Structure 1
């Protein structure tokens, strides 16, 4: 055994000795120069609510605010952020009731999109971000657009992914939710509880996706664990009901588009049953210069189309946002 170990050590030493010094130096240098992006995970108190957010990139870089949808959190941007953070300051908060932010009892806190916009605005003020492009998805669209109505001069650009501002996009999926809007009854509220079940959570990640091997099951496992927290179903039902308040604001959102003409990139999963492609096309009425890309995927397009979306997003930011 000792002879065998001695032989192996000798062979290893001879192999390393045979490597030319230049090659050894090159190998060492290439490893040393591997880019490493550090994402920070922070919490800030905003009006008595602890708001969690992810942040990466240079403190003085152009800001991209990433606003997530239902039923996920800033977790949905975990793979995109490192691809932009060499140049851009990327900030992704969790709304109360989602992810790692506080989830106060729904009887003691107003779970509304107006309140979410106020808290995101407060977060940006606390961390010193006065101008920003916004990536809006699903719930992130009404949150972001309400923020834009408060501070239209601060918005340097829009990236829109399966997030609605036009009634054409509210199709069959929304019929039971609209029934709840109509009367606010317990019957219609309880009928929506299936939307927070494991089957529907998984459906949101997998429906319309051609290659399911690209979708990590961690997504729906994590989301469902958070949905299953005591009291969270009531939070989600309150938000489904409050979503009705976004629809009357659609004309104001559209006026913002026409008045401010923010540079806009639309990257939309065309197979999405929740926010179908019918909701993407109307943006071009008010933003005729928007860049529209319909992708062959479903609701959470970043999960399987990151390799397509990231270059589009990076090119758009570099061309349209970086110098604004």
Structure 2
């Protein structure tokens, strides 16, 4: 028995180094990718500090990620490393969101036109002269205004629950449309519920196919920023300014038709804020767009990252030439 135990011990010792050596061969080590480093930076653009996340090769094709309400570039925290193996990814926070400055709303213009100008200034600062854009929620009018400014710079579009058609502004928008129509304090105050924890949590959980995938950190993080002194008025100003995007829809659509940017649409079909009725009209102007309606809600990346990231990466690999 002692001889058997000794034999087994020697066998274990003799085989262990071989197993370790096999797992560390140069060929296998070469195939292992190093973890992606994400940089967290701030740039002063037109007198306001704009925070942004950046990752990927400096000479890679640029992908700009434009976030929605009520979040920030935080919504892209899991997607960024999955794209940054090949692409230079830039994800800014708009003023009043995330880690960017949040000036007094009486002294600073919180508008989608201003946001587009500031993102434009940031991209100029970073030397991004050609880029693909991922647009979501508020990111759609910001990105499409940017496209109108520089149509030649847009290499491709990734659209996720971001509207450019009146069919997409349904029942959820009725109280906001009332505020657009009369601009009254009463209508403004009636929208206060849109910046509460209940609504923030609703945006992350409603329509999701698997709630166990949705981290509560999302609404806790976003609500803490919404609850900063003065931020409610910033958000109410933006609700009112959203009305200025609607008259631009025909121009956005003309850009689609005339420029025909390669377009991937990955849309949470259960979203009540930007429902799927706003996704299908893109095909009128972009008949070659790739449309995927996913069984999820507003913040689809929280629920369907494992589906969306491969779709996005494959789309960029197929449609974006090296060096853009």
TM-score tier (shorter): over 0.9
Partner of 2:233: 234
Q: CA deviation at 1:24?
A: 1.4
Q: Which runs of 5+ in 1 are unaligned?
A: 1-12
Is 1:280 matched with 2:276?
Answer: no
Q: CA deviation at 1:193?
A: 0.4
Partner of 1:46: 45
TM-score, normalised to structure 1, is: 0.94
Partner of 1:294: 293
What is the number of equivalent residue pairs in this alignment? 313
Is 1:185 matched with 2:210?
Answer: no
- Counterpart selection for 2:14 from 9, 13, 18: 18
Structure 1 residues 270-294: Cα deviation after superposition (integer angstroms, max 9, x where no partner): 0000000000000000000000000
Structure 1 residues 105-129: Cα deviation after superposition (integer angstroms, max 9, x where no partner): 0001000000000000000011110
Partner of 2:92: 93
Q: CA deviation at 1:183?
A: 1.1
Partner of 1:136: 135
Distance 1:41 1:15 in 2: 50
Q: In the superposition, relative to structure 1, how do residues 128 and 230 fare at CA in structure 2: closer, same or farther (>3 Å)?
A: same
Distance 1:95 1:322 in 2: 29
- What RMSD, in angstroms, separates the aligned Cα atoms of the two structures? 1.6
| Mapping for residues 214-233 of structure 1, pairs under 5 Å | 214-233=213-232
Partner of 2:201: 202
Is 1:264 matched with 2:260?
Answer: no
Distance 1:15 1:212 in 2: 49
Partner of 1:10: none
Q: In the superposition, relative to structure 1, how do residues 110 and 17 fare at CA in structure 2: closer, same or farther (>3 Å)?
A: same
Is 1:27 matched with 2:23?
Answer: yes
Is 1:111 matched with 2:110?
Answer: yes
Partner of 1:80: 79
Q: CA deviation at 1:14?
A: 7.0
Structure 1 residues 61-83: Cα deviation after superposition (integer angstroms, max 9, x where no partner): 00000000000000000111111
